[in-house]
Amino acid sequence: MLEILGIIYLTGKIGTLAEQKGLKKGIWKFYMVLAWFGGEILGIVLGIITFGPDNIVGSVMVGYALAITNYFLLKSILSKKPNAVDTSFEFEDPNHSDRSY
């Protein structure tokens, strides 16, 4: 249950960051879920190979560690992208002028 809440929270953070970058937040949330579960499954498999099939707790911890690592990798990739350009046009204040007389 706590894992699901963590995924929802981290997916929201990735979506917000994607929106700041001017990207579609839905696709980046999908990437987050794929990265999380892919990392978790790969980590569990690596944990079973490393610790043996009898140590389930160790394998699950390796899975969580790899899933969290994938979150930080995805966040790093997304944060390196340029921010969205603000295309809104603001009119100049008629009482304020940058001209010096």
- Residue 84, amino acid: A
Report yes or no on whether pTM surpasses 0.85: no
pLDDT at site 64 = 94
pLDDT at site 35 = 95
Q: Could you give the count of Cα atoms lying within 13 Å of 41 in the half-sphere of its Cβ?
A: 6
Flag whether pLDDT at 11 surpasses 70. Answer: yes
Query: Where exactly are the structural domains of the chain?
Result: 2-79
CA–CA separation, 24 vs 22, rounded Å?
Answer: 7
- pLDDT tens string 46-94: 999 999 999 999 999 999 999 999 999 999 999 998 887 766 666 655 5
pLDDT at site 84 = 77
Which one is predicted more confidently, 96 or 59?
Answer: 59
CA–CA separation, 75 vs 81, rounded Å?
Answer: 10
Q: Which two tokens stand for residue 14?
A: 């990735």
> Would you say 38 and 71 are in contact if contact means Cβ atoms under 8 Å apart?
no
The H or E element spanning position 67 is: helix 56-79
Q: Exposed, middle or buried by CB within 10 Å (0-12, 13-18, 19+), for 75?
A: middle
